Amino acid sequence: MVNNNREYKEVLGYRERKFDHDRDLAVNEFDMMSEDFYLSGYEAILIPQVQYISKKTVIASTISFDNEVLLLKGASNNYEVKEICTDLGVSYLELDCCCNDACLVNVELVLNAHKDISHVYVEFNESNLPIINELNRICNDAKVNLIANIESYDHSLIGRCITNQVPFVIMPNDQESVVIASRRNLVQTEGVSSSFTYDLYTLWQNSLNKRKPCITPMTA
């Protein structure tokens, strides 16, 4: 039993060290020192499960029962996200979106017409990277939060999402996944999730307990 515990701790330690290294690479992608990551106002939360679980955790922790999420349907058909919303009892609308100017106009029209929408979910890749800033601006004007899912670990995409102040970014990390979220929005997730298993706020607080004492988080 002792050997098993030691091996488990070694594996966990390796995962955490590798995550710190990968996170530092993402931070350095937009010219920030790794120890300054938290000063950006963002937190990186490692979820030791596949990306599907991260998607479910973010949706469960951000969208209350009386709100809706707008799913932008581009190259992805959002099968997983629709399944997650159905399982959690979260209402959603879906909009065909090629991530061009016409699409952004339609997003704005839908948000203005449906005041119950609190979040917009989009799959980000290199093809729709240029619209990140404008899409986030439209969401901010409508007082709606953007959830960006990145299917492949791409430092430039992660950097662009953070520099454009996207509230929630979901990305893979080997066989695990990571949620990068603004601290201001993380605070607002407290008590939203009805499931302890899919509670982003609790995961964030647990990660703070493990934080190195030399890193001082910025006050939310």
183-210 pLDDT per residue, tens: 999 999 999 998 888 999 999 998 877 6
Q: Would you state the pLDDT for residue 88? A: 94
Token pair, residue 207, equals: 């990660």
Q: Would you state the pLDDT for residue 220? A: 44
Q: Would you state the pLDDT for residue 2? A: 44
Q: For residue range 43-62, list pLDDT tens digits in order.
A: 888 888 888 899 999 999 99
pLDDT at 71 over 90: yes
Q: Would you state the pLDDT for residue 129? A: 67
Q: For residue range 117-158, list pLDDT tens digits in order.
A: 999 999 887 666 677 888 999 999 999 999 998 877 666 677
Token pair, residue 121, equals: 């979910």
Q: Is the pTM of this model over 0.85?
A: no
| Residues of the chain above pLDDT 90, percent | 40
Give me the sheet containing 168-173, strands edge to edge: 42-47, 176-182, 168-173, 145-150, 117-124, 68-73, 91-96
Token pair, residue 148, equals: 């960006």
Integer Cα distance of 32 and 202 in angstroms? 27
Integer Cα distance of 149 and 156 in angstroms? 14
The mean pLDDT of 170-174, rounded to a whole number, is 80
pLDDT at 31 over 50: no
State the chain's mean pLDDT as an integer.
79
* Closest C-alpha to 120, from 94, 87, 101: 94
- According to CATH, the topology of domain 2-209 is Aspartate Aminotransferase; domain 2 (3.40.640)
Q: Please name the helix (run of DSSP H) or strand (run of DSSP E) that holds residue 146, with its range, or none.
A: strand 145-150
Contacts of 172 (CB under 8 A, 6+ apart): 51, 150, 151, 152, 153, 178
